[in-house]
Structure 1
Amino acid sequence: MLNLLFGIESAMRSMRAHSTAINTTAHNIANMNTIGYSRQLANISSAEALSIPGTPGQVGTGSQMSAIERIRDLYLDKQIRSELTNFGEWAALVRTYENLRAIFPEVDNPGTAGLQHQISKFFESWQALAEQYKLPPAERNIAAAKNDILAYAKGLTNMFATRSAALTSIQLDLNTELRLTMDEANNLMKEIAEHNKSIVSIMGRGERPNDILDKREVALKKLSELINFHVGNRSDGSVVLITGGHTIVSGGDYFELTPTASAKDSKFERVGLFEYRGAKPSDITDAVTGGKLAGILKARDEVLHGYQVQLDILAHSFITVANKIHSTALDPVSGAQANRAFFVGNRAASININPDIKTGSDILDTKFVEGDIAEIMANMDNKLMNNWVRRNVGSVMTSDTLLGNNGKISINGIEIWYSASDTIADLLVKINANVETFSAVWDDTNNQMFMIANDQMTIEEFMADGLTPAIPSVGPPPYVPVLSLLGLVQEQVSAAPINYPGSFMGDTVRNVQSWFAQEMSTDVKTSEQGILSIGYLGNNYMVPWQSSDPVIVTVGSIFGYAPGPVPPALPNMGVAIFSEAEQKFHFGQGIGSGAGQNKILPLSITDASGTMSKTMKMIGNIRFGEFYDSMVGQLRGEIDSAINIQQQHADTILLLDNLQTEITRVDEEQEIALAKQYQRAYDASVRLLSVIDQMLNMLINRTGTPSSTDNG
C-alpha cells in the first residue's frame, strides 16, 4: 500500500513539474518580442530518494522543478556595456563635430566663401591699394581701394565674431544637454535601485527573479551609454555601481548627479554627486571618463574650446602684426607717424576695426615710399604669425640715424648692401624690396624696428668686402656693425594671451604662482610635468618643468638660470620673459658670441613631452595664410576619425548583441517542441495515476469483499 502511495506522489510531482515547464515555454513565447528578455529554461531533476528498511536500494520519489534558469551570457553583457559606454561618448562627440562642420563649411567645400575667403580678400584688397601707387597719379583711385579694404576688414571681423559666437552657443547648448543627461542618468539609477530591492526580496524567498534581472540589465545598458561605471555583484542579488571610486548605486539606494558651478567659467557646469545625505555635492567630473556625459564634457571643454583658442590665436595675431605695421604709417596731413592701430580687441570675439577708422580715407598706407605700408600689409599673409625680429635696446635713434659703415647684411641668403651714408630708413627700403620674403617697419614713437618673414630668419652681417664677419671692436677706430647698432633679437612670442578670458577665479596668470595653482586661469591646462625642447644656437636643449613650479621658474630655466640644482645645458637665451600685462611669453636671441657675433640665428620651442608649449601658445612656424587652412584640415581629419571610431563601436555592439541574441532569443519551433515533450510527460503521469487508481480499486474493492461462504 505504501509503495502505491509513493507512485501517486511521484506522478503528482511529475505533473506539477511538467505543468510548470509548459508554463515556462508559454512565457517564453509570449515574450518573443520583448526587448531585453532572456529565454528561460525549466530544469527538471529527480526528487530526493528515500531509504526504506527491507527494500533493496532507495525508493525514488519522482521529479521536481529544481530551477527556472535564465539563459544569458553575463560576460557578453559586460562587454556590451563597455562598448555602449564608448559609443555614448563618441556619439556625443560626432554630434558636436557635425555642428562644427556647419560652422566651418570649408571642411566639405574648401572653395566656399568662409573665413579663409575673407582673409584672402582682405590681403588682396591691400595688394590692390599697393598696385594703385604703381600707376600714374592721374590714373589712381586710392579712395576706392581703401574703401574696399574697409569693407573686407568689416567682413573679416564680423566673421571672426560670428564664428566665435557660434562656438560659444554650441558650448551653452551642450551645457543644457549635460543637465538633461544627468537627469536621465538619475532616473535610470533610481530604476536600478528599485530593481535591486525587488531582486533582494524575491531571492530572499528562494526564488529566481529572472524577469526583473532582465529589466535591470536593460536599465544598466541604458545607463552605461550615459556614464562609465563598474558593476559589483552582491550575494543577495543586488548590484553596486561605482564611477571612478564614487558610488552611484548601492543596493536599494542611489545617489543623484547634479550640476555644479565651474571654478573656471560659471557659464559651464561640471558633474556633481550627492554622496552623503545633507552634504554638498562632490565634484566627480574628472571621474567621468566615458558615456554621453564624458562626450559632452570633452566636446564642450576640449574640442569646442580648442577651436575657440585657435580662432583667438589667429585673430590676436592679425591684431598684433597688422597694428605693428599700420601704426608706423604717416599721417598724410601732418607728415608725422600717426600711431593709428588698424584693429582693436584681442580675441576672435572682440576683434574690430579701430573706431578712429571711420571711412576708407582713415586707412594709412605710406611710411618711407609711397604705398610701402600697403605693400607690407598685402604680403602679410605669407609671413610667420608669432616669430619676428625686433629691436631690444632702448637707445634713442630715429629712422634718420646714419648707419656709419659700409657692409652687407644677408637675410636667409638674400644679400642687402648698405653704405655709411645710408640711414635706417634707407636700410628698411632696401629690405622691403624683398617684401614677398621679408619686410620691416620702424616705429619712430618707440624707437623700435619690427621685421617679419616667411620663415625663421638667419641674419648675418659682413664688412665692406662682403666676406669678413662684421664683429664689434673698440678700435681704433671703433667699429659698430648695424646689427649691434640696432640691437636686434629674433623672437618666438605667444600667439595670443595665455589667460582664460572671464575666468571665474580671475583671468590673470601671475609670474610668482605655480602653474597648478593657476590652471583655472589658463586657456590650455598644463600636464603635471614635461620637457621643453629648445632649438637654439645649433643646439637642442631639454628643459624639464613641473606644474608645481612657479611660472617665473619655468621662464628662468629657459633663460638660463634656475633656483636650486641647475639642470645641465640651460639655453642661456637673450630674452625670456612672461609679461603679465600682455599675458604672453617672449623668448628670443640676439647676436651670438665669438664666431657667431655677427649672426642672429633661429630658435624653436616645442614639447618633447607634456603640454607647456601649448599652454604658452607657441604655435611653431606657420604663416597667416596657412593657419586657418591647417585648422580646417585638422577639423576635417577629426570629423572623419570620430565618425569611424563611433562606427567601430556601433559595429562591435551589433556583433556582441547578435551573439547574445543567439543565446537569449526565443525560438518558436524549439519552444513548441519542448512544450510537446513536457505534454507527453504530463500525459504519461496522468495515465500512471489512472493505472495506480485501478490498482487501488482492485486492492480496496476486490480483496476486501466477504465470500458467500462467510455470509452463510
Structure 2
Amino acid sequence: MSGTFSALNAATTALWAQRRALDVAGQNIANVNTEGYSRQRADMQAIGGSAVPAFYSTSDGIGGGVSVEQVTRIRDAFLEGRGHTEHANYARLSTEAGALEQVETAFREPGDQGIQSLLADVWDGWEAVTNGPDTDATRAQVLQQMEALVGGLHFASASLKAQWNQTRENLTVLVDDVNAAAASIADLNQAIQRGNQTSLPVNSLVDQRDLLVMKLADQAGASVRHGKDGMVDVIVGGVTLVGGTSATKLAVAGSLDLAGTGTSPVRVVTAVGGHTVRPDGTAAGQLAAMNGIFPSYQSDLDALAKDFADAVNGVHTTGAYDKLGNPGIDVFESADGSPINASNIRVAFDDPALIAASGLPGAANTDSSKADEIAQLRSKAGGPDATYRRLVVQLGVEAAVANRGVQIQQVITTQIDASRESVAGVNLDEEMTNMLSYQHAYAAAGRLVSTIDEMLDVLINRTGRVGL
C-alpha cells in the first residue's frame, strides 16, 4: 500500500514539474520580442529514495518523482564579454568617422562654395586684373572674390568650433547618462544579492542589469567582473565604476573651447579625486574628435589662411604700385591684432584703386606684372593651392579609412550579436518542441494518476468482497 501511495506522489510531482516547465516555455514565448530578455530553462532533477534506511523501513530504490531545482537563465559569459568589447569598438569608430564627416561638411568639398572653388575664383580675379589693369571693374571684382574667400575661411573655422562645442556638450550628457546607468546597476546588484540570499527569482533583474552593462559598453567601453551572490563589478577605463552596491560618479574636465585643447585637453575624470579615466566606446571617439581631429584640422586651416595672406601680401607690398602710383600695402590683415588665422583674416581695404597690379612706379600705367605674379601663385609648388589640396586629400583618405573601419567592425559586431542571440535568444520552434514534450509528459503523469486511482479502487472497494 505504501508503495502505491509513493507512486501517486511521484505522479503528483511529475504533474507539478511539467506544468512549471510549461510556464517557463510560455514565459519565453511571451518575451520573444523583449529587448535584453534571456531565454530560461527549467532544470529538473529526480527525487531519490532514502540513502540511509530508518528503523523498520528500507527504500525500494525507485525514488520519489521529479522536482524543478531551478529556472536557469541561458547566457554565455564569454560571448557577453566579446559583445562588450566589439560594441565599444564599433561605437568609437563610428563616432570618429562621424567627426571626420563633420569636418568635410565644414570644408564643403567638393562644391561651388568650397574653399578650393573660392581660391580658384580669387586667382581668376587676379588674372582678370592682369588683362585689364586700367579698369575699376576688374579690381572691384577681385576684391569681392577675396571677400568671398575670407567668408569661406570664417565659415569653415566657425563650423569646426561649433562642432567641437556640440561634441563637448554631447560628452557631458553622455557622462551624466553613464552615472545614472551605474547607479541603476548598483541598485540592481543589491536587489539580486537579496534575491539570491532568500532564494527568490532574479532572472528578470539580471536581464535588466545586463542590458544596462551593454549600454555602458557602447557609451564608455565597460567590462564586468563577477562577484558573489550574483553581483558584478563594472570597470570603465581602468576604474571600477560599479563595485557591488556602490557606484562611482564621473565628470568632464579640461578646456571649454577648441583653442585650449593644446594645453588642457578634454578628459573624463572621477567626480571625487579627479582621477583620469580612459574610456572606450562613444566617449573615446568624442575625446579623439575634440583633442585630435577638430584641433588638427583647425590648425591646418589657420596655417592655410596665414600662408595665403603672407603669399599675397608678400607680392603686393614688394615693388608693387597701385592705380595712383603709390606703393602697395597689405591686402589681408588680422581683425584683432593677433597673428592671422582662419577666424580673424580680413581684407584690409575696400577701395579698388589700392589694388597694386603694376610693377612700375607712376600713376595710370598699364603694367600688370604684379597682378600676374599673384595670379601665378595658384601653380606655385608649396603655395596655398597645393597646401589646401594636400589637406583635402588627407581628409578624404582619413574619412575613407575610418568608414572602412566602421564597416568591418559592423560585420564583426553583427556576427558576435548573432552568436549571443543564438545562445540567449528565444527560438519559437525550439519552444514549441519543448511545449509538446512537456505536454505529453504532463498527460502521461495524469494517466499514471488515473491508473493508480483504478488500482486503489480495486484494492479498497473490491478486494474485501472476494471472501463473501
TM over 0.5: yes
Assess, with a 3 A threshold, how the Cα gap between structure 1 residues 273 and 92 changes in structure 2: closer, same or farther: same
What is residue 627 of structure 1 aligned with on the other side?
387
Match of 1:211 in 2: 204
Cross-structure match for 1:612? none
Structure 1 CA distance for aligned equivalents of residues 59 and 122 of structure 2: 108
Query: Equivalents in 2 of 1:293, 1:642: separation in Å?
Result: 17
Aligned to 1:343: 332
Deviation string 1:350-401 (CA, Å, 9 cap, x unpaired) is 11122xx330112223456744432332222233xxxxxxxxxxxxxxxxxx
Unaligned runs of 5+ in 1: 133-139, 384-453, 455-621
**What's the % identity of the aligned pairs?**
25
1:163 aligns with 2:156: yes
In 2, the alpha carbon distance for the partners of 1:128 and 1:261 equals: 49
2:164, 2:258 within 8 Å by CA — same for their partners in 1? no
Residues 673, 382 of structure 1: alpha-carbon distance in 2 compared, 3 angstrom cutoff: closer
8 A Cα contact 1:329 1:364, kept in partner: no
Higher mean alpha-carbon deviation, 624-633 vs 162-171, is at 624-633
CA contact (8 A) 1:9 1:61 kept: yes
Pairwise CA distance, 1:641: 2.4
CA contact (8 A) 1:89 1:291 kept: yes
Aligned 1:57-206 pairs, distance under 5 A: 58-107=61-110, 109=111, 112-132=112-132, 141-206=134-199
SS at structure 1 position matched to 2:43: strand
Cα deviation for residue 130 of structure 1 reads 3.2
Q: 1:652 aligns with which of 412, 420, 423?
A: 412
Give the SS at the match of 2:251: strand
Instruction: Say whether 1:321 aligns with 2:299.
Output: no
The AA in structure 2 aligned to 1:63 is V
**CA distance, structure 2, for counterparts of residue 637 and residue 341 of structure 1:** 36
Helix, strand or coil at the partner of 1:320: helix
Query: What SS does the corresponding residue of 2:21 show, helix, strand or coil?
Result: helix
Output the CA distance in 1 between the equivalents of 2:294 and 2:357: 38
**Structure 2 counterpart of 1:374, from 371, 376, 379:** 371
Q: State the TM-score, normalizing by the size of structure 1.
A: 0.58
Contact 2:147 2:346 in 1 (8 A): yes
> In structure 2, what is the Cα distance between the partners aligned to 1:14 and 1:234?
35
Q: Quick one: structure 1 residues 352 and 59, their matched pair in 2 at CA, closer, same or farther if it must change by over 3 Å?
A: same
SS of the equivalent of 1:217 reads helix
Q: How does 1:509-658 map to 2 (within 5 A)?
A: 622-658=382-418
Q: CA deviation at 1:303?
A: 1.7
* Separation in 2, partners of 1:689, 1:270: 73
User: Match of 1:498?
Assistant: none
In the alignment, the residues of structure 2 paired with residue 244 and residue 193 of structure 1 have an alpha-carbon distance, to the nearest angstrom, of 18
Matches of 2:202 and 2:341, distance apart in 1 = 61
Give the 3-state SS of the residue equivalent to 1:103 in structure 2: helix
Q: In 2 relative to 1, CA 81–209 (structure 1 residues): closer, same or farther, beyond 3 Å?
A: same
Larger RCO, structure (CA 8 Å, separation 6 or more): 2
Deviation at 1:691, TM superposition (A): 4.1
Residues 38-65 of structure 1: CA deviation (Å, up to 9, x unaligned): 2212121212331336758634122111
Q: TM-score, normalised by structure 2?
A: 0.86
User: Is residue 681 from structure 1 mapped to residue 450 from structure 2 by the alignment?
Assistant: no
Aligned AA (2:20): T
Q: Assess, with a 3 A threshold, how the Cα gap between structure 1 residues 11 and 623 changes in structure 2: closer, same or farther.
A: same
**Structure-2 residue corresponding to 1:254:** 247
Aligned ranges 1:238-253 → 2 under 5 Å: 238-253=231-246
1:150-194 Cα offsets, whole Å, 9 max, x none, are 222211111111111111111111122112222222232233222
Match of residue 595 from structure 1: none
The one-character-per-residue Cα deviations of 1:306-345 (angstroms, maximum 9, x if unpaired) are 211111111011122322332233566997856x222112
CA distance in 2, matches of 1:212, 1:194: 10
How many positions carry a matched residue from both structures? 452
The whole-number CA distance in structure 2 between the counterparts of 1:42 and 1:172 is: 53
Q: How far off its partner does 1:10 sit?
A: 2.1
Q: For residues 525-555 of structure 1, give each alpha carbon's deviation from its aligned partner in whole angstroms, at most 9, with x where no partner exists.
A: xxxxxxxxxxxxxxxxxxxxxxxxxxxxxxx
Structure with the largest fraction of strand:
1
**Kept in 2: contact 1:270–1:283 (CA 8 A):** no
Residue of structure 1 equivalent to 2:357 = 365
- 1:307 pairs, out of 274, 284, 297, with 297
Q: Is the 8 A contact 1:329 1:365 kept in 2?
A: no
CA distance in 1 between partners of 2:359 and 2:432 (Å): 96
Does the aligned pair in 2 maintain the 1:172–1:267 contact within 8 Å? no
Partners of 2:371 and 2:467 lie apart in 1 by 141
SS in 2 for 1:72: coil
Q: How far apart in 2 are the matches of 1:646 and 1:184?
A: 24
Give the root-mean-square deviation of aligned CA atoms: 3.0
Higher helix share: 2
Deviation sequence 1:480-529 (CA, Å, 0-9, x none): xxxxxxxxxxxxxxxxxxxxxxxxxxxxxxxxxxxxxxxxxxxxxxxxxx
Q: 1:262, CA displacement in angstroms?
A: 2.4
**d(CA) in 1 for partners of 2:50, 2:308:** 96
Residue matched to 1:559: none
Q: Helix, strand or coil for the counterpart of 1:650? A: helix
Moved more, 653-662 or 328-337: 328-337
Unaligned runs of 5+ in 2: 335-339, 362-366
Task: Please give the per-residue CA displacement for 1:592-627, whole angstroms capped at 9, x wherever unaligned.
Answer: xxxxxxxxxxxxxxxxxxxxxxxxxxxxxx332222
Q: CA deviation at 1:195?
A: 2.2
1:682-701 to 2 correspondence within 5 Å?
682-696=442-456
